[in-house]
Amino acid sequence: MDSRCRLGLWRLPLLAAAWAGLLVCRYYAVREPDPGPRRHGACRRPPALALRRLPHSRQLFSLSTPVLLWDGLFTQELWDSLSQRKAPYGWQGLPHQAIASALRLLNSPESAELFPASGKPRPSCVRCAVVGNGGILNGSRQGWLIDAHDYVFRLNGAVIKGFEDDVGTKTSFYGFTVNTMKNSLINYGHLGFTSVPQGRDLRYIFIPADIRDYVMLRSAILGVPVPEGLDKGDKPQTYFGPDAPAGIFKLLHPNFIRYLRERFLRSSLIDTEGKDVYMPSTGALLLLTAVHTCDQVSAYGFITRNYRKFSDHYFELRKKPLKFYANHDLLLEAALWEDLHKAGIIQLYQR
Protein backbone atom coordinates (compact mmCIF):
# COMPACT_ATOMS: atom_id res chain seq x y z
CA MET A 1 0.00 0.00 0.00
CA ASP A 2 1.24 3.52 -0.82
CA SER A 3 2.76 5.23 2.22
CA ARG A 4 0.48 8.20 1.71
CA CYS A 5 -2.49 5.86 2.05
CA ARG A 6 -1.14 4.41 5.26
CA LEU A 7 -0.58 7.86 6.72
CA GLY A 8 -3.98 9.12 5.62
CA LEU A 9 -6.27 6.32 6.77
CA TRP A 10 -6.26 7.16 10.46
CA ARG A 11 -7.24 10.74 9.70
CA LEU A 12 -10.49 10.28 7.86
CA PRO A 13 -13.28 11.23 10.26
CA LEU A 14 -15.65 11.87 7.38
CA LEU A 15 -14.95 8.46 5.84
CA ALA A 16 -14.87 6.37 8.97
CA ALA A 17 -16.14 3.19 7.35
CA ALA A 18 -13.67 0.69 5.97
CA TRP A 19 -14.47 1.61 2.38
CA ALA A 20 -12.89 5.02 2.99
CA GLY A 21 -9.39 3.64 2.87
CA LEU A 22 -10.11 2.01 -0.46
CA LEU A 23 -11.48 5.30 -1.78
CA VAL A 24 -8.40 7.29 -0.81
CA CYS A 25 -5.92 4.68 -1.99
CA ARG A 26 -7.73 4.30 -5.31
CA TYR A 27 -7.25 8.04 -5.82
CA TYR A 28 -3.57 7.93 -5.00
CA ALA A 29 -3.11 4.98 -7.33
CA VAL A 30 -4.78 6.83 -10.19
CA ARG A 31 -3.36 10.34 -9.99
CA GLU A 32 -1.35 12.86 -8.05
CA PRO A 33 -3.07 15.99 -6.69
CA ASP A 34 -3.34 18.65 -9.34
CA PRO A 35 -0.47 21.18 -9.09
CA GLY A 36 -2.69 24.14 -9.95
CA PRO A 37 -4.80 25.67 -12.71
CA ARG A 38 -3.92 24.58 -16.23
CA ARG A 39 -5.06 26.32 -19.36
CA HIS A 40 -4.34 23.36 -21.61
CA GLY A 41 -4.50 19.60 -21.43
CA ALA A 42 -7.10 17.12 -20.35
CA CYS A 43 -9.47 17.99 -17.54
CA ARG A 44 -9.82 15.46 -14.78
CA ARG A 45 -13.30 14.21 -14.01
CA PRO A 46 -15.44 16.35 -11.68
CA PRO A 47 -14.76 15.16 -8.10
CA ALA A 48 -18.34 14.15 -7.39
CA LEU A 49 -18.63 12.20 -10.64
CA ALA A 50 -15.33 10.46 -10.06
CA LEU A 51 -16.20 9.48 -6.51
CA ARG A 52 -19.56 8.15 -7.56
CA ARG A 53 -17.77 5.50 -9.62
CA LEU A 54 -15.92 4.16 -6.59
CA PRO A 55 -17.35 1.44 -4.31
CA HIS A 56 -19.81 2.72 -1.72
CA SER A 57 -19.07 6.36 -2.54
CA ARG A 58 -22.78 7.13 -2.71
CA GLN A 59 -22.64 7.11 1.09
CA LEU A 60 -20.74 10.39 0.86
CA PHE A 61 -21.61 12.18 -2.39
CA SER A 62 -25.18 12.65 -3.59
CA LEU A 63 -25.58 14.19 -7.02
CA SER A 64 -29.35 14.17 -6.68
CA THR A 65 -29.33 16.93 -4.04
CA PRO A 66 -29.84 20.29 -5.80
CA VAL A 67 -27.24 22.91 -4.94
CA LEU A 68 -29.46 25.93 -5.57
CA LEU A 69 -33.06 26.71 -4.67
CA TRP A 70 -35.26 28.60 -7.14
CA ASP A 71 -38.88 29.04 -8.09
CA GLY A 72 -39.01 25.87 -10.17
CA LEU A 73 -38.34 23.77 -7.05
CA PHE A 74 -40.73 25.58 -4.74
CA THR A 75 -43.67 23.23 -4.21
CA GLN A 76 -46.11 22.51 -1.43
CA GLU A 77 -44.27 19.25 -0.84
CA LEU A 78 -41.00 21.11 -0.35
CA TRP A 79 -42.67 23.58 2.00
CA ASP A 80 -44.13 20.77 4.10
CA SER A 81 -40.75 19.04 4.28
CA LEU A 82 -38.58 22.05 5.10
CA SER A 83 -41.10 23.35 7.62
CA GLN A 84 -39.99 20.50 9.86
CA ARG A 85 -36.42 21.79 10.22
CA LYS A 86 -34.93 25.04 11.48
CA ALA A 87 -32.86 27.38 9.32
CA PRO A 88 -30.44 27.06 7.64
CA TYR A 89 -31.62 23.49 7.03
CA GLY A 90 -35.28 24.38 6.65
CA TRP A 91 -38.06 26.87 7.27
CA GLN A 92 -39.48 25.92 10.64
CA GLY A 93 -41.07 29.00 12.21
CA LEU A 94 -40.46 31.20 9.15
CA PRO A 95 -43.41 32.96 7.48
CA HIS A 96 -44.61 31.35 4.27
CA GLN A 97 -45.22 34.68 2.58
CA ALA A 98 -41.67 35.90 3.09
CA ILE A 99 -40.19 32.67 1.70
CA ALA A 100 -42.62 32.42 -1.21
CA SER A 101 -42.28 36.06 -2.28
CA ALA A 102 -38.49 35.73 -2.45
CA LEU A 103 -38.41 32.42 -4.30
CA ARG A 104 -41.00 33.48 -6.87
CA LEU A 105 -38.54 36.13 -8.04
CA LEU A 106 -35.87 33.50 -8.74
CA ASN A 107 -37.71 32.41 -11.86
CA SER A 108 -35.15 32.55 -14.65
CA PRO A 109 -32.92 29.74 -15.96
CA GLU A 110 -29.95 31.55 -14.43
CA SER A 111 -31.44 31.10 -10.97
CA ALA A 112 -31.16 27.33 -11.33
CA GLU A 113 -27.51 27.29 -12.43
CA LEU A 114 -24.44 28.52 -10.64
CA PHE A 115 -22.51 29.43 -13.76
CA PRO A 116 -23.82 31.91 -16.35
CA ALA A 117 -26.30 30.34 -18.75
CA SER A 118 -25.59 32.95 -21.42
CA GLY A 119 -22.75 35.16 -22.55
CA LYS A 120 -19.26 33.75 -23.03
CA PRO A 121 -19.18 29.96 -23.53
CA ARG A 122 -18.53 27.84 -20.47
CA PRO A 123 -15.00 26.35 -20.39
CA SER A 124 -14.77 22.64 -21.17
CA CYS A 125 -12.98 22.27 -17.84
CA VAL A 126 -14.27 24.62 -15.14
CA ARG A 127 -11.42 25.47 -12.77
CA CYS A 128 -12.41 27.26 -9.59
CA ALA A 129 -10.48 28.95 -6.80
CA VAL A 130 -12.22 29.42 -3.46
CA VAL A 131 -10.49 32.12 -1.43
CA GLY A 132 -10.95 32.15 2.33
CA ASN A 133 -9.66 34.95 4.51
CA GLY A 134 -7.09 33.03 6.55
CA GLY A 135 -3.80 34.61 7.55
CA ILE A 136 -1.90 31.95 5.64
CA LEU A 137 -2.38 34.11 2.53
CA ASN A 138 -0.45 37.08 3.93
CA GLY A 139 2.81 37.12 1.97
CA SER A 140 1.81 34.08 -0.06
CA ARG A 141 2.18 35.70 -3.50
CA GLN A 142 -0.64 33.50 -4.79
CA GLY A 143 -2.62 36.26 -6.46
CA TRP A 144 -1.65 35.42 -10.04
CA LEU A 145 -2.47 31.75 -9.53
CA ILE A 146 -5.85 32.60 -8.04
CA ASP A 147 -6.73 34.90 -10.92
CA ALA A 148 -5.70 32.22 -13.46
CA HIS A 149 -8.78 30.16 -12.54
CA ASP A 150 -11.96 30.41 -14.59
CA TYR A 151 -14.02 31.39 -11.54
CA VAL A 152 -12.99 32.81 -8.18
CA PHE A 153 -15.18 32.52 -5.08
CA ARG A 154 -14.74 34.96 -2.19
CA LEU A 155 -16.62 35.39 1.06
CA ASN A 156 -17.35 37.67 4.00
CA GLY A 157 -14.58 40.24 4.61
CA ALA A 158 -12.81 39.74 1.28
CA VAL A 159 -10.26 42.57 1.34
CA ILE A 160 -8.45 42.95 -1.97
CA LYS A 161 -6.92 46.43 -2.14
CA GLY A 162 -3.35 46.30 -0.91
CA PHE A 163 -3.25 42.50 -1.01
CA GLU A 164 -3.52 41.91 -4.75
CA ASP A 165 -0.23 40.00 -4.91
CA ASP A 166 -1.43 37.59 -2.25
CA VAL A 167 -5.14 37.13 -3.04
CA GLY A 168 -5.58 38.35 -6.63
CA THR A 169 -8.20 40.74 -7.94
CA LYS A 170 -10.72 38.53 -9.72
CA THR A 171 -14.12 37.84 -8.13
CA SER A 172 -16.76 35.73 -9.84
CA PHE A 173 -18.88 34.79 -6.81
CA TYR A 174 -19.27 36.43 -3.42
CA GLY A 175 -20.87 34.21 -0.76
CA PHE A 176 -22.34 35.27 2.57
CA THR A 177 -25.19 35.31 5.01
CA VAL A 178 -26.61 38.75 5.63
CA ASN A 179 -25.25 38.50 9.15
CA THR A 180 -21.68 37.67 8.09
CA MET A 181 -21.73 40.29 5.34
CA LYS A 182 -22.84 43.09 7.62
CA ASN A 183 -20.57 42.03 10.48
CA SER A 184 -17.65 42.02 8.07
CA LEU A 185 -18.45 45.55 6.93
CA ILE A 186 -18.61 46.66 10.56
CA ASN A 187 -15.61 44.78 11.93
CA TYR A 188 -13.20 44.99 9.01
CA GLY A 189 -14.05 48.35 7.50
CA HIS A 190 -10.99 49.96 9.09
CA LEU A 191 -8.86 47.17 7.59
CA GLY A 192 -10.09 47.71 4.04
CA PHE A 193 -13.41 45.91 3.68
CA THR A 194 -15.52 48.99 3.04
CA SER A 195 -17.93 47.53 0.48
CA VAL A 196 -19.19 44.25 -0.88
CA PRO A 197 -17.49 43.26 -4.17
CA GLN A 198 -19.36 44.53 -7.21
CA GLY A 199 -18.90 43.96 -10.93
CA ARG A 200 -20.73 43.33 -14.16
CA ASP A 201 -20.01 39.60 -14.22
CA LEU A 202 -20.16 39.02 -10.46
CA ARG A 203 -22.74 36.72 -8.86
CA TYR A 204 -23.93 36.69 -5.25
CA ILE A 205 -24.52 33.47 -3.32
CA PHE A 206 -26.99 33.90 -0.48
CA ILE A 207 -26.70 31.37 2.36
CA PRO A 208 -30.17 31.28 4.00
CA ALA A 209 -29.21 31.17 7.66
CA ASP A 210 -32.29 33.12 8.80
CA ILE A 211 -35.39 34.91 7.57
CA ARG A 212 -33.38 38.07 7.01
CA ASP A 213 -31.55 36.41 4.09
CA TYR A 214 -34.81 35.79 2.25
CA VAL A 215 -36.07 39.29 3.00
CA MET A 216 -32.82 40.89 1.81
CA LEU A 217 -32.79 38.73 -1.31
CA ARG A 218 -36.32 39.79 -2.24
CA SER A 219 -35.52 43.47 -1.72
CA ALA A 220 -32.31 43.17 -3.73
CA ILE A 221 -34.12 41.70 -6.73
CA LEU A 222 -36.93 44.28 -6.55
CA GLY A 223 -34.52 47.14 -5.90
CA VAL A 224 -36.46 48.40 -2.89
CA PRO A 225 -35.50 49.07 0.74
CA VAL A 226 -35.81 46.16 3.16
CA PRO A 227 -39.35 46.48 4.54
CA GLU A 228 -39.00 44.70 7.89
CA GLY A 229 -36.84 42.88 10.37
CA LEU A 230 -33.31 43.57 11.59
CA ASP A 231 -32.33 45.14 8.28
CA LYS A 232 -35.38 47.36 7.88
CA GLY A 233 -34.57 50.42 5.78
CA ASP A 234 -31.42 48.94 4.25
CA LYS A 235 -30.96 49.70 0.56
CA PRO A 236 -29.64 46.56 -1.15
CA GLN A 237 -28.21 48.56 -4.05
CA THR A 238 -25.66 49.85 -1.55
CA TYR A 239 -24.32 46.32 -1.29
CA PHE A 240 -24.96 44.84 -4.73
CA GLY A 241 -25.01 47.84 -7.02
CA PRO A 242 -27.89 49.58 -8.84
CA ASP A 243 -30.26 47.74 -11.16
CA ALA A 244 -29.05 44.29 -10.18
CA PRO A 245 -31.02 41.68 -12.21
CA ALA A 246 -32.46 38.61 -10.54
CA GLY A 247 -30.10 36.32 -12.45
CA ILE A 248 -27.03 37.44 -10.51
CA PHE A 249 -28.45 36.20 -7.21
CA LYS A 250 -28.08 32.58 -6.19
CA LEU A 251 -29.60 30.88 -3.16
CA LEU A 252 -28.15 27.73 -1.59
CA HIS A 253 -30.81 25.09 -1.09
CA PRO A 254 -31.50 24.28 2.59
CA ASN A 255 -31.44 20.59 1.69
CA PHE A 256 -27.97 21.04 0.19
CA ILE A 257 -26.71 22.75 3.36
CA ARG A 258 -28.16 19.93 5.45
CA TYR A 259 -26.60 17.33 3.16
CA LEU A 260 -23.18 18.98 3.54
CA ARG A 261 -23.52 18.98 7.30
CA GLU A 262 -24.68 15.36 7.53
CA ARG A 263 -22.27 13.86 5.00
CA PHE A 264 -19.14 16.00 5.29
CA LEU A 265 -19.21 18.03 8.51
CA ARG A 266 -21.26 16.14 11.07
CA SER A 267 -19.70 17.69 14.15
CA SER A 268 -19.93 16.26 17.66
CA LEU A 269 -21.52 19.63 18.50
CA ILE A 270 -24.72 18.25 17.01
CA ASP A 271 -25.01 16.00 20.06
CA THR A 272 -24.60 18.83 22.56
CA GLU A 273 -26.73 21.71 23.83
CA GLY A 274 -25.20 23.82 21.07
CA LYS A 275 -26.77 21.75 18.30
CA ASP A 276 -29.20 24.51 17.34
CA VAL A 277 -26.46 27.06 16.67
CA TYR A 278 -23.98 24.79 14.90
CA MET A 279 -23.60 25.08 11.14
CA PRO A 280 -20.64 24.76 8.77
CA SER A 281 -18.78 28.00 8.22
CA THR A 282 -19.43 30.25 5.24
CA GLY A 283 -16.11 29.20 3.77
CA ALA A 284 -16.90 25.51 4.21
CA LEU A 285 -20.24 25.86 2.47
CA LEU A 286 -18.72 27.72 -0.48
CA LEU A 287 -15.80 25.34 -0.86
CA LEU A 288 -18.09 22.31 -0.87
CA THR A 289 -20.40 24.11 -3.29
CA ALA A 290 -17.44 24.47 -5.64
CA VAL A 291 -16.55 20.80 -5.20
CA HIS A 292 -20.06 19.88 -6.36
CA THR A 293 -20.14 22.23 -9.34
CA CYS A 294 -16.60 22.75 -10.67
CA ASP A 295 -14.28 20.34 -12.47
CA GLN A 296 -11.17 21.35 -10.55
CA VAL A 297 -11.10 23.14 -7.20
CA SER A 298 -8.27 24.99 -5.48
CA ALA A 299 -8.70 26.25 -1.89
CA TYR A 300 -6.74 29.25 -0.62
CA GLY A 301 -6.86 30.84 2.83
CA PHE A 302 -8.48 27.89 4.58
CA ILE A 303 -7.48 26.47 7.94
CA THR A 304 -4.58 24.03 7.87
CA ARG A 305 -2.90 21.89 10.51
CA ASN A 306 -0.31 24.59 11.29
CA TYR A 307 -2.87 27.40 11.67
CA ARG A 308 -1.11 28.73 14.80
CA LYS A 309 1.70 30.07 12.61
CA PHE A 310 -0.62 32.56 10.95
CA SER A 311 -2.89 35.42 11.88
CA ASP A 312 -6.66 34.98 11.97
CA HIS A 313 -7.04 36.98 8.72
CA TYR A 314 -4.55 37.89 6.01
CA PHE A 315 -5.48 41.58 6.11
CA GLU A 316 -4.78 42.21 9.80
CA LEU A 317 -2.05 44.69 10.64
CA ARG A 318 -0.87 42.68 13.64
CA LYS A 319 -0.92 38.94 14.14
CA LYS A 320 -4.03 37.74 15.95
CA PRO A 321 -4.78 34.12 16.90
CA LEU A 322 -7.50 32.30 15.04
CA LYS A 323 -10.83 32.65 16.82
CA PHE A 324 -12.96 29.60 17.47
CA TYR A 325 -16.69 30.15 17.86
CA ALA A 326 -19.32 27.80 19.25
CA ASN A 327 -21.36 27.82 16.04
CA HIS A 328 -18.57 26.32 13.88
CA ASP A 329 -16.21 23.34 14.16
CA LEU A 330 -13.09 24.65 12.47
CA LEU A 331 -10.90 21.73 13.53
CA LEU A 332 -13.30 19.33 11.85
CA GLU A 333 -13.19 21.52 8.76
CA ALA A 334 -9.38 21.51 8.83
CA ALA A 335 -9.39 17.70 8.91
CA LEU A 336 -11.84 17.60 6.00
CA TRP A 337 -9.76 19.93 3.82
CA GLU A 338 -6.64 17.87 4.46
CA ASP A 339 -8.49 14.65 3.66
CA LEU A 340 -9.94 16.02 0.43
CA HIS A 341 -6.53 17.35 -0.55
CA LYS A 342 -4.87 14.00 0.07
CA ALA A 343 -7.58 12.29 -1.95
CA GLY A 344 -6.93 14.64 -4.88
CA ILE A 345 -10.43 16.11 -4.72
CA ILE A 346 -9.23 19.65 -3.97
CA GLN A 347 -5.86 21.37 -4.12
CA LEU A 348 -5.36 22.97 -0.70
CA TYR A 349 -2.85 25.80 -0.43
CA GLN A 350 -0.45 25.08 2.43
CA ARG A 351 2.86 26.50 3.59
How many whole angstroms separate alpha carbon 348 and alpha carbon 351?
10
The overall average pLDDT reported for the chain is: 83
Handedness of CA 267, 272, 273, 275 (dihedral sign): positive
Arithmetic mean of pLDDT, 229-257: 94
> Is residue 26 scored above 50 in pLDDT?
no
> Is residue 31 scored above 70 in pLDDT?
no
User: What ranges do the domains of the chain cover?
Assistant: 47-116+126-348
Range among 27-36, 82-91, 257-266 with highest mean pLDDT value: 82-91
Which DSSP letter does residue 174 get? E
Q: How many helices (H) and strands (E) does the chain have?
A: 14, 7
Arithmetic mean of pLDDT, 281-286: 95
Q: What is the pLDDT of residue 190?
A: 94
Q: What is the pLDDT of residue 321?
A: 86
pLDDT digits 0-9 by tens, 49-62:
555 554 444 567 77
* Domain covering 47-116+126-348 in this structure, CATH number: 3.90.1480.20
How many whole angstroms separate alpha carbon 39 and alpha carbon 123?
10
Q: What is the pLDDT of residue 105?
A: 97
Is 315 within 8 Å of 159 (Cβ atoms)? yes
Task: Grade residue 343 by pLDDT with cuts at 50, 70 and 90.
Answer: confident
> Is residue 156 scored above 60 in pLDDT?
yes
How many whole angstroms separate alpha carbon 276 and alpha carbon 45?
37
pLDDT digits 0-9 by tens, 308-322:
999 999 999 899 988
pLDDT digits 0-9 by tens, 291-313:
999 999 999 999 999 989 999 99
Phi-psi region of 150 (alpha: psi -120 to 50; beta: other; left: phi over 0): alpha
